[in-house]
């Protein structure tokens, strides 16, 4: 069994790594897939987007080998297809939302109630659908600088792998799927690290956000609720606080912007890889705290508090730290 998981993770890594390289070669010849810098961009060089095609295929192949439900695969294909159209032409937000609702509903109807039956089934499903769709979109919002999205894939994937192993739940569906996510993220990070040679694009970030949301729900329904709240703490906090600020300022929340805290750090002169390392570092702490929440469940609330305290400290640092003298947007 160990040999199978080692071979599976290595295969997914290589498919993601080599597939992304081939995607870079192919997309450089197609102007429609070039992300050209604009006023809100955090890069200066036209860079191919749509690299998520290879990552999503690596994930799907790995998930099929791990015997995931077909509803997950169908939902990912559906989201990838619509997102690819959105990378090429502008798909109306309502259409994208309806497709996301369809994808989430396709999987939710086969999952047990997340709240353990304490809520009416329709309310349980509705709450989870809203939260899941929000996570899909926040993952897309947060894919704004080199290496960040891939690092989050690795952080959440490795986090669930470790806590599953420490809890004696190996092998477990959560372990297998998380290992696949981490392996695919490593393969893409090779090309997406600063200076990035390719971006995920919506075709990558939307299906990956969907899959990560599924992992969080699977963890929550498998007895790892606090871990599911801790591991994505940075992404949840940065995106949600930024959205709340924009709502308060009466700005259009569906319009692309460059106000996230990690974007503020880059615009204050810190390099992409420096900011990504800060966030990767906080993710290591979150993995540690999530694992502790499983090993010592009676202290889980304390671990949750420490996790969000650390994340908000980093957000404050990004927003208020003195500007770096060597400003670089690449």
pLDDT digits (tens, 9 = 90+) for 249-294: 888 776 777 889 999 999 888 899 999 999 999 999 999 999 999 9
The pLDDT > 70 percentage for the chain reads 89
Position 321 scores a pLDDT of 73
Give Cα 276 to chain centroid, integer Å: 14
Question: Is 145 a domain residue?
Answer: yes
Residue found under tokens 């939902």: 75
- The DSSP 8-state label assigned to residue 35 in this structure reads E
pTM, to two decimals: 0.90
In the chain, the number of structural domains is: 1
Give the residue from 127, 103, 105, 124 showing the smallest Cα distance to 113.
124
Asked if residues 245 and 118 have their Cβ atoms less than 8 Å apart, the reply is no
By C-alpha distance, which of 237, 228, 232, 231 is closest to 288?
A: 231
- pLDDT at residue 49 tops 90: no
pLDDT band at 93 (very low <50, low <70, confident <90, very high): confident
For residue 325, being part of any structural domain is answered with: no
What six digits make up the tokens of 156? Answer: 């959440």
pLDDT at 38: 47
- Tell me: the pLDDT tens digits for 223-246? 899 999 999 999 999 999 999 988
pLDDT band at 115, cuts 50/70/90? confident
- Would you tell me how many other CB atoms lie within 10 Å of the CB of residue 110? 9
In tens, the pLDDT along 148-202 reads 999 999 999 999 998 888 877 656 789 999 999 999 999 999 999 988 888 888 9
Residue 328, in any domain of the structure: no
CB burial class (10 A; 0-12, 13-18, 19+) of residue 287? buried
pLDDT at 329 over 60: no
Range list of β-strands (E), 31-180:
34-35, 47-48
| The pLDDT value given to residue 59 | 97
Six-digit token string for 66: 């791990």
Neighbouring CB atoms inside 10 A of 321's CB total 13
Q: Is 69 contained in some domain?
A: yes
Distance CA 300, CA 298 (A): 6
Count other C-beta atoms under 10 Å from residue 307's C-beta.
26
Name beta bridge partners: 199: 49
In the structure, how many helices (H) and strands (E) does the chain have? 13, 2
Where is pLDDT greater, at 208 or 84?
Answer: 208
Residue 152 has a pLDDT of 94
Residue 26 banded pLDDT, cuts 50, 70, 90 = confident
Q: Is the pLDDT of residue 104 over 90?
A: yes
CB-CB contact of 115 with 124 (8 Å): yes
Instruction: Say which residue the tokens 């499983």 belong to.
Output: 294
Q: Is residue 330 part of a domain?
A: no
Tell me the C-alpha to C-alpha distance, in Å, between residue 228 and each of 12, 33, 39, 233. Answer: 24, 34, 36, 9
Per-residue pLDDT, averaged over 125-130, amounts to 94
Whether residue 329 lies inside any domain: the answer is no
Predicted local confidence at residue 121, as pLDDT:
87
Domain that holds residue 42: 2-320
């Amino acid at each position: 069994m160990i040999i199978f998981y080692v071979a599976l993770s290595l295969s997914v890594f290589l498919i993601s790594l080599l597939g992304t390289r081939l995607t870079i070669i192919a997309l450089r010849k197609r102007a429609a897939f070039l992300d050209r810098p604009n006023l809100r961009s955090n890069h200066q060089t036209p860079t191919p987007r749509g690299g998520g095609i290879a990552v999503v295929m690596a994930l799907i192949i790995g998930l099929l080998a791990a015997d995931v439900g077909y509803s997950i695969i169908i939902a990912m294909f559906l989201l990838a297809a619509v997102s690819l159209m959105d990378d090429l032409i502008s798909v109306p937000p309502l259409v994208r939302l309806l497709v996301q609702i369809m994808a989430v509903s396709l999987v939710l109807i086969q999952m047990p109630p997340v709240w353990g039956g304490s809520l009416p089934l329709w309310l349980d499903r509705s709450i989870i659908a809203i939260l899941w769709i929000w996570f899909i979109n926040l993952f897309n919002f947060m894919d704004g600088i080199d290496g960040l999205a891939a690092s989050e894939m690795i952080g959440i994937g490795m986090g669930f792998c470790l806590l599953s192993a420490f809890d004696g739940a190996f092998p477990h569906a959560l372990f297998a799927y998380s290992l696949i996510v981490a392996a695919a993220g490593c393969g893409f990070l090779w090309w997406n690290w600063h200076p990035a040679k390719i971006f995920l694009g919506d075709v990558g970030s939307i299906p990956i956000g969907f899959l990560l949301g599924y992992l969080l729900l699977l963890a929550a329904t498998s007895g790892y609720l606090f871990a599911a709240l801790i591991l994505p703490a940075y992404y949840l906090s940065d995106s949600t606080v930024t959205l709340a600020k924009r709502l308060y300022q009466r700005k259009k929340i569906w319009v692309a912007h460059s106000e996230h805290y990690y974007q503020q750090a880059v615009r204050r002169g810190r390099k992409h890889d420096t900011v990504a390392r800060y966030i990767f570092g906080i993710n290591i702490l979150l993995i540690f705290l999530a694992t502790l929440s499983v090993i010592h469940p009676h202290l889980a609330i304390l671990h949750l508090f420490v996790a969000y305290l650390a994340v908000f400290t980093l957000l404050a640092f990004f927003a208020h730290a003195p500007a770096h003298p060597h400003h670089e947007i690449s």
